[in-house]
Amino acid sequence: MKLIDTHTHLYLKEFDYDFDHVINMSKNKGVFKFIFPSIHSKYNKRMIDTYNKDRSIFNIMAGLHPAYVSNNNDKEIDLVVENLKNYDCVAVGEIGIDLYWEKKFLDQQKLVFEKQIELALNYNLPIVIHCRDAFDHIYQILIKYSQNNLRGVFHCFTGNEEQANKICDLNFKLGIGGVVTFKNGGLDKFLNNINLKNIVLETDSPYLAPTPYRGKRNDSSYLIYIVDKLSEIYGVENHEIATITTNNAKELFNLDI
């Protein structure tokens, strides 16, 4: 199998002591591409330095995570633009709206989200959306841009079937990770009604480790547990899940593989 982890934070300090081991384990499980979402300027050097270790297997995004949006975001947006200009970014992300951690900056989050959507359109890149307790707000913004060939991923999708169908109708894919393996995650109840062409795989490591490692540090080698669960849900062999989702990621992110 050949797998792509479309959303992993392998550049964070959680991997400082065994980074090479994690990469080797992941490769042994079939993971041959790792895409790093951008978060905030304080993590930017770590992301770029890790990307530069091996650009043949690592790709990066440029973006400001909504949880870091405040009253003054100009310097952060300038950095997003700088990264888009200086590196071969495959997406603008992770961007969106997060009302779980912070509600008082909703207006600013909307504004920053739209600015970054416009950057993605200017650079002809997909967007990777962080959505937490904010689906309706995000959906209404996406509707505004739906005639502009906007495309991307709803990262860490945990919504319901109606929301999933709305997302797919907008030419977006669902980023499916460890939550699909959770006993009460809910995705297994309807996901087989969603065509596999709309699915990409992710870990969001070091977060959201799948069962049987829930609560522990996640890493890209655990992508195989997502494949196993999707194989069970869709009633097809693992290699078919791998082939379809890898092709989806390759096409969406325009990966040279």
Return the pLDDT at 142.
97
Helix extents (H) in 189-237: 223-234
| pLDDT tens by residue, 215-249 | 999 999 999 999 999 999 999 999 999 999 999 99
Return the pLDDT at 87.
98
Helices 44-53 and 74-86 cross at an angle (nearest 10°) of 10
Which residue ranges of the chain lie beneath pLDDT 70? none
Return the pLDDT at 147.
85
Return the pLDDT at 102.
76
Helix extents (H) in the chain: 19-28, 44-53, 74-86, 106-122, 135-144, 161-169, 223-234, 238-253
